[in-house]
Amino acid sequence: MSSPAGIDPRGPRFAAAITAVLALVATFLGLIGTAPAAASASLAQRVADPAFLLSVVIALLFLWSALSPRTAPWGALFRSAVQPRLTPPAELEDPRPPRFSQVVGLVVVGVGLVLHLLGVPWALPIATAAAFLAAFLNAAFAFCLGCQLYLLLQRAGLLGRTASAS
């Protein structure tokens, strides 16, 4: 089986920059909203919290990017509005690690959402801060934490192995 076609590595960085901004806003909203006192807030108050609502949007975007990267909004925006204005990339990137990192982001934000609904104080801003940190590192320094985790799991033989014709 051949390896998957490569992607422009600037696409995931572009998406990470937008995700970083969204996660930073969600973290700020979480710090001033019901998250610090989630245990004493009613379920309705926790659900109506702007940080919760924005985090749901972020989680849905992670899910979309993991399930259908070709149609995900930030990838589509990059391919239609940004990529045509750039020179072709020097190298293409395996799409599996960035896709895996979307799943990691979904899990991190998803855990924060569930814990917030259960009334765990600070869970939501901590989760969105972690998502912000990972997205910022990717956007600013091309260091993808989820991709590194993918590569570690691949080296351990737990992910990404395809049948080889040896």
CA distances from 1 to 66, 154, 160 (A): 22, 17, 12
User: What is d(CA 104, CA 20) in angstroms, rounded to the nearest whole number?
Assistant: 15
Q: What pTM did the predictor assign?
A: 0.89
The pLDDT value recorded for residue 4 is 56
Indicate whether 71 belongs to any domain.
Answer: yes
In tens digits, what is the pLDDT along the chain, a chain of 166 residues? 444 579 999 999 999 999 999 999 999 999 998 877 888 889 999 999 999 999 999 999 999 999 998 899 999 999 999 999 999 999 999 999 999 999 999 999 999 999 999 999 999 999 999 999 999 999 999 999 999 999 999 999 998 665 444 4
Indicate whether 85 belongs to any domain.
Answer: yes
Indicate whether 142 belongs to any domain.
Answer: yes
Indicate whether 19 belongs to any domain.
Answer: yes
Q: Could you tell me which residues are beta bridge partners of residue 46?
A: none
The pLDDT value recorded for residue 166 is 40
Indicate whether 48 belongs to any domain.
Answer: yes
User: What is d(CA 100, CA 157) in angstroms, rounded to the nearest whole number?
Assistant: 15
Number of domains making up the chain: 1
Indicate whether 161 belongs to any domain.
Answer: no
| Domain boundaries, position 135 | 10-155
Indicate whether 163 belongs to any domain.
Answer: no
Indicate whether 164 belongs to any domain.
Answer: no
